[in-house]
Chain A
């Protein structure tokens, strides 16, 4: 059984990353993301044999993921952004500003393009770059094989690269 001290340290370490992850799964609904994360920790508290060491992180993310899907299934509240939302985006026609600004713009545009990707690719990208997890850790959380994770990341990143190169304003080579 987890002690208060371990829960406290676990909270300190994982609370924010989990909420960040949950936000990605709930289209940015903070209240819901918090509920999901609280629920995740409640499960940890109840756990007869709580995961320890290297298992703790993946365990938390897995539970968080399942909780989020539960919420999603029960309430069908997660609404993904439609492609058309992006196409009308005014920023696509913004003229090129200075280099520094440009880089930030590119980054923001990247975030928008991210929303265009299929859910599974987007999730893997989030886990990789938002939470800096390894392929193996991502595989554990998502129940995918490491090969699958690699494939999804590869496909997702290639797509992003394509989106960026389609748009002359936001070119990776300029951004560097």
Chain B
């Protein structure tokens, strides 16, 4: 016992409870004068500190803040009377906040830029981007417009403070003013991270629009009424924002995001017989476009990446045979939007790895569904990321789904049914607060109950890091995780959302759980973490998969690759094993479409300039096997290999009509048509919403997942929206 012992302070403060400890301290004090002085000094200091820190009446909330809170309580209770199911719990905001969120979005130049784009922007090298310089003409309530006059309001501050703005006039003048003074010092350029946060704002607005509609007739604060018209003026502002986005584009920022807009044009087979690209298994664009359409907005062109739409759907391609890791499925039929053209489909399907060859995985997802996850770069991104992981799983892998928030629960008991897992993921909704401790216990129980001997046993915790809201004892949690790691159940921690306040907690947890901690701020990152890294231990079957199509100029005059713009490779990259390309997992399907103009066709799409020397040589081309229109060449590496292998598949046009083509072919053609119409492609020819909808409906097939049915609904929404826009 000595003066450095914290027990001494605890004793002085009456915090020592263990009689043995008390006895120890008292025995020591009996013989130690210095110790006694310390104890009395500490007690005096405690009294002084209490006095100092208690001095003066502590201020409370302002009356208006308090009133807003109580008002909020009434509203929340009313909405929940008819809706007390835990899952459908949504955060509802009072009218004033809805309107003001919209206002804030307007002020910040209303970015309805899709969040994935924003995330991409964030990953790009440009650190800042300019805010729209377009002047905003808005009718604003007087008391707000004064503040609005300071144009470079920091959106991050806004987002944070929206709840306070307008709720309280008195505190606003204080809080608002000081805050804006700070905002003034912020340069006009804003960090991309903040953009990102703003995207969250806009989505909240969209989400709340519905709530706003429902809340008609409820008591609204006068201020909310004043601000309400602003919400209606939002769409115009959005238009303004897109103009500014285009401007940014021209200035050369965010190349990553917008390179893909430049649509592949028709190329002459004679001049460019080789078309080379990397496979892509991303599906984000479809989900993103879906979100926007469901919000009643047509997506900006740049958000429409057709290859990601095609690959969102799975197709029933033949399973690979022999030693190849994937099968190649070629089909050609009439191009639906340009009947004199042919549409060629290249479909790859990764082999399913037999049970015996792979370790089984037993994964338990533990997902934070607290209210704070209700932002586009959190729960939705989490769902997409985990979906990528699920896509990688084989037949004998099991997944259980547990959630935690105000309470924790088992959403999906351990199952190998991937559709069930996807559905459970899709159904997750944010709401409630976080209490991680019992959730993690539940997750480990699941993992242990389904333990795969010699397999991969892992709890995957996904959270925005607000992990210990509610009472969670950090050391108990650490102990639990350390202990469980010994049992062979490992922990992976995935962080979502911007700026994680519990970064260190999560990292520590993962360390203790023999796991890894990754921060996922974009789907690209999610893919990297969950497919390339985690998938590495699970099911990558081939990597650096490249496709090169060689067209026969004697048969094909022009061709156009639909989508895959940002996956283009140089023809010499094809055989260059140092050039990276996409990975394919077990059971994955990858689909690419070419629109092809045949030699002798009356199409106007023939662009080739006459050549002085080569044209004769081409006429002597019959040395090629007659009729072969193209050869698909594939290069891939084994997951652990460094040297690529080459596969070749020739295709001859069998002059099939569209309705004789497979259902999958027809459905894919409808998806491509949908994408091209959304993108306002130059090559839509006779494309029409109605015909693609009819074709998709006809080709829907069994559609166990319901994704195709959803596509049809989405196409109808897009049709109605574009009609409204055109009229």
Contact = CB atoms under 8 A, between A and B. Distances in A.
B interface: dominant SS: helix
A168 interface: no
B155 to A, nearest CB: 10
Nearest to B56: A20
Contact of B474 (A30, A125, A143): A143
Contacts of B57: 16
Contacts of A125: 49
A48 B404 CA distance: 12
Interface stretch (A83-91, A93-101, A133-141): A133-141
Contacts of B466: 66
Contacts of B69: 7, 11, 38, 41-42, 45
Contact of B77 (A4, A29, A31, A129): A4
Interface string B59-93: 11110011011101110110010000010010100
Contact of A46 (B86, B91, B475): B91
Interface string A51-78: 1000100110011001001110111010
B171 interface: yes
B501 interface: yes
A19 B178 contact: no
B473 interface: yes
Interface string B29-52: 000000000100110111011111
A160 B43 CA distance: 12
Contact of B164 (A35, A45, A66, A69): A35
B51 A107 contact: yes
Interface residues of A, number: 79
Interface stretch (B1-9, B514-522, B680-688): B1-9
B46 A129 contact: yes
B472 interface: yes
B460 interface: no
B471 interface: yes
Nearest to B478: A145
Contacts of A31: 171, 174-175, 178-179
A interface: dominant SS: helix
Given A31-B171, A75-B182, A135-B10, A140 B471 contact: yes
Interface in A136-171: 139-140, 143-145, 147, 150-151, 153-155, 157-158, 160-161, 164
A153 B474 contact: no
B58 A161 contact: no
Contacts of A43: 371, 433, 469
Interface string B469-494: 11111110000000000000000000
Interface string B177-219: 0110010000000000000000000000000000000000000
B6 A151 contact: yes
B501 A66 contact: yes
B175 A35 contact: yes
Contacts of B3: 158
A4 B70 contact: yes
A69 B501 contact: yes
Given A29-B178, A107-B55, 14 more contacts: A11-B69, A15-B66, A31-B178, A42-B163, A45-B73, A62-B470, A107-B48, A139-B473, A140-B471, A140-B473, A153-B9, A154-B8, A157-B42, A160-B49
Interface of A: 1-4, 7-8, 11, 15-17, 19-20, 23, 29-32, 34-35, 37-39, 41-43, 45-51, 55, 58-59, 62-63, 66, 69-71, 73-75, 77, 103, 106-108, 110-111, 114, 125-126, 128-130, 132, 134-135, 139-140, 143-145, 147, 150-151, 153-155, 157-158, 160-161, 164, 172, 175-176
17 contacts: A1-B77, A4-B74, A16-B58, A31-B175, A38-B68, A48-B89, A51-B470, A59-B470, A69-B501, A71-B160, A110-B45, A110-B49, A140-B471, A153-B9, A155-B6, A164-B45, A172-B41
10 nearest A-B pairs in the assembled complex, by CB-CB distance: A31-B175, A154-B6, A130-B53, A48-B406, A154-B9, A49-B406, A48-B432, A129-B49, A143-B474, A16-B58
